[in-house]
Structure 1
Amino acid sequence: MPADKVEEYADGLCYTDLMAGYYIGASDEVLQAIADYSAWFFVWDDRHDRDIVHHRPAAWRRLRFRLHAALDSPQDHLHHEDPLVAGFADSMVRLYSFLPRTWNTRFARHFHAVIEAYDQEFRNRTEGYVPTVEDYLELRRLTFAHWIWTDLLELSAGLELPDHVRKHPAYRRAALLSQEFAAWYNDLCSFPKEIAGDEVHNLGISLITHKGLTLEETVAEVRRRVEGCISDFRVAERDALEFADSLADGTVWGKELSAAVRACVRNMRNWYSSVYWFHHESGRYRVDSWDDRSTPPYVNNEAAGEK
């Protein structure tokens, strides 16, 4: 964004507020790093969108490879000529500083997959291909970065969770439901913008294309799925908290692990309220007030990475 757009829109986009409502209990340093990374993620998403809209496959390809490289060696990219790459590298240096290398390696593996999912979306949208509902839901878990935001729960709790804890069905189901809610509610709130922009990546668009639903039926179906995530989470949360309690085995480690898991699960609940609030307060979704309902007014098409 140019400076005048930053002044006019940045606070109203509420990107950092979204994170502050999710990672409750995180230290100030951790929360600032996550909030800055979140703001970067939205800017990256807009760059990706502009490269598609303006038919810039070469620019996207360069950015894709640069992000992969910066993810693996962020220190080497802190002064990259593309501010988006440099900003990403800065975020990675900071996020990698809080927990052991094993967490960093896992986070990098998860984000490499996110970058490739964005490339798949680029190809789908460029070719006008609407994924089936099932394919879309699978891809959406990556483009929304489900496991990235879940990984960051451990930073807020101050403890890397062992594999057997993270992969336990009770913990994993609660985490997945909180992220599915966020992704599908985002699709619901983005629906007017994405229909106006003739996009192909939205749960509602897949339902219309492949299930033959009307617009009204589609909105009702997405809302039904969103509400299902809420009711299902209440059951999953109870199971996850019982699992957390079971980890307290009388040892110091067991007590710390149990407390960390409980903190992560409680913050999964916070994702619901924070995401709901964000979509109704952020200027990112106020399409009725935009001159072009498909394009946020703060987007600068000139700064799109063709340098």
Structure 2
Amino acid sequence: MPAFPHSTSPTATAVAVPPALRLPVIEAAFPRRLHPYWPRLQEKTRSWLLKKRLMPADKVEEYADGLCYTDLMAGYYIGAPDEVLQAIADYSAWFFVWDDRHDRDIVHRRPAAWGRLRSQLHTALDSPADHLHHPDPLVAGFADSVLRLYSFLGPTWNARFARHFHAVIEAYDREFRNRTLGHVPTVDAYLELRRLTFAHWIWTDLLELSAECELPEHVRKHPAYRRAALLSQEFAAWYNDLCSLPKEIAGDEVHNLGISLIHHEGLTLEEAVTEIRRRVGQCVTDFVAAEKEALRFADTLADGTVREKELGIAVRAIVANMRNWFSTVYWFHHESGRYRVDSWDDRSTPPYVDNEAAGEK
């Protein structure tokens, strides 16, 4: 069935979801929504990628729209002011480009290049205004997107975002070392690392920008709120693993729930796929229960002071977008060219990646 009752693009067609990846509960119970700013979002993020030299012009022209990065964000941060959604979408596009650079540095054995980039990103995160003209477009683009994100809520939110993203950079470094050594983490170690490499708390932090409300610690760390947030992100990370398993096996990856299950639990490929599907399905079931608890928590806030009522409204909006994450992630994986490995000339090399732009000579 199509992701939308009507197309978001003049040339879009209904997406056929492979049986092994199809989740009828998402298609039936998690209707997909799209921010009305989406057409402009797609256009402006495409222009931003060009302006910041994050992808070569020919790659942007041929692949940017088909990668559907803006669709993913426009289906998640519903209700965000246009300017906020644009900043989030550009940051998200940067994140995908960074992920590709990290992958190419591993594939082409460039530990020194990765080490430099890791250090530069840490520094740019703490002082983005000083890195807007950095010679590496990836660092300059990061500085630009972070500086814009920092403009919306204030210093305490900014410090939390920075703390969370410093941890993401270090998790990417651990992944770099694991892949270089061919080390497959155990299932438990992988799941812990995955929460960082997938940036669970970054995407959750950005929900506050969407709601135009910084949540205090007692709200963010309330068990009802935290459980709903975690389940929505776990679903996304594990469904990504399910969909990217062929691509990552082809690329000699070691970081995928399926690969850890095969390597450490002795499962066959088919059994690993079944187990990931089971975990993904359980996430959906558990989220529906957690969502109710989170909404009840929001209602308790609405009974308090004016400030608490504002927080209650924000929490309800955020929980609604946690629900949106399920459908937007699901359809993204079937619409984006990022996962169409069977159509690539080389199953280990994405066609939208330019090796020379990533530092090869």
TM, length-normalised to structure 1: 0.99
Higher RCO by CA contacts (8 Å cutoff, separation 6 or greater):
1
Given the alignment of the two structures, is residue 222 of structure 1 paired with residue 222 of structure 2, yes or no? Answer: no
| Structure 1 equivalent of residue 186 of structure 2 | 132
CA–CA distance in structure 2, aligned partners of residues 299 and 261 of structure 1: 38
Q: Counterpart of 2:219?
A: 165
2:92 to 38, 56, 74: 38
> In the TM superposition, what is the alpha-carbon distance from 1:100 to its structure 2 partner?
1.6
User: Does residue 283 of the first structure (1) align with residue 331 of the second (2)?
Assistant: no
1:213 matched to 2:292? no
Separation of aligned partners in 1, 2:100 and 2:162 = 22
TM-score (norm 2): 0.84
Name the stretch that deviates more: 84-93 or 286-295. 286-295
Shift of 1:197: 1.2
Amino acid at match of 1:128: G
Answer whether contact 1:59 1:306 (CA < 8 A) is retained. Answer: no
Contact 1:193 1:295 in 2 (8 A): no
Aligned residues: 307
Partner of 2:159: 105
Residues 263-306 of structure 1 show CA distances to partners (whole Å, capped at 9, x for unaligned) of 11110000000000100000000011101112211111112236
Match of 1:66 among 120, 126, 146: 120
User: Which residue number corresponds to residue 313 of structure 2?
Assistant: 259
Contact 1:64/1:115 (8 A) holds in 2: yes
1:286-305 paired onto structure 2 within 5 Å = 286-305=340-359
Q: CA deviation at 1:261?
A: 0.5
User: Does 2:121 correspond to 1:121?
Assistant: no
Q: 2 CA distance for matches of 1:69 and 1:198?
A: 31
Shift of 1:165: 0.3
Equivalent in the alignment of 1:268 = 322
1 CA distance for matches of 2:114 and 2:360?
9
For residues 67-126 of structure 1, give each alpha carbon's deviation from its aligned partner in whole angstroms, at most 9, with x where no partner exists.
000000000000000000000000011000000200000000000000000000000000
| Structure 2 Cα separation of the partners of residues 18 and 234 of structure 1 | 21
Other-structure match for 2:70:
16
Unmatched runs of 5 consecutive residues or more in structure 1: none
Deviation at 1:250, TM superposition (A): 4.3
Residue from 223, 230, 233 that aligns with 1:176? 230
Output the CA distance in 2 between the equivalents of 1:198 and 1:25.
Answer: 40
Could you give the per-residue CA deviations for residues 34-92 of structure 1, whole angstroms, max 9, x where no partner exists? 00000000000000000000000000000000000000000000000000000000001
One-letter identity of the residue aligned with 2:220 = R
Among candidates 221, 227, 246, match of residue 300 of structure 2: 246
Rounded to whole Å, the distance in 1 between the matches of 2:270 and 2:61 is 38
Mapped to 1, the partners of 2:265 and 2:205 lie a distance apart of: 34
Aligned mates of 2:288, 2:319 — CA distance in 1: 11
Q: Which moved more, 1:191-200 or 1:43-52?
A: 191-200
Q: Does 1:93 align with 2:164?
A: no
Per-residue deviation, residues 105-158 of structure 1 (Å, max 9, x unmatched):
000000000000000000000000000000000000000000000000000000
Letter in 2 for 1:145: A
Deviations 1:144-196 (A, max 9, x none): 00000000000000000000000000000000000000000000110001111
Instruction: Quote the offset at 1:252 in angstroms.
Output: 1.6
* Alignment-derived partner of residue 81 in structure 2: 27
Deviation for aligned residue 1:2: 2.0
Q: Distance in 1 between matches of 2:186 and 2:304?
A: 49
In terms of fraction of residues, the more helix-rich structure is: 1
Of 68-77 and 284-293, the range deviating more from structure 2 = 284-293
The letter of the residue matching 1:196 is A
- The answer on whether the counterparts of 1:117 and 1:139 sit within 8 Å (CA) in structure 2 is yes
Please list every run of 5 or more consecutive structure 2 residues that lacks an aligned counterpart in the other structure. 1-54
CA RMSD across the alignment: 0.9
Matched, 1:82 2:136: yes
Instruction: Report the counterpart of residue 251 of structure 2 in structure 1.
Output: 197
Is structure 2 residue 287 aligned with structure 1 residue 233? yes
**1:82 and 1:305 in contact (8 A); partners too:** no
Provide the C-alpha distance between the structure 2 equivalents of 1:49 and 1:34, rounded to a whole number of angstroms. 23
Structure 2 counterpart of 1:276, which letter?
Y
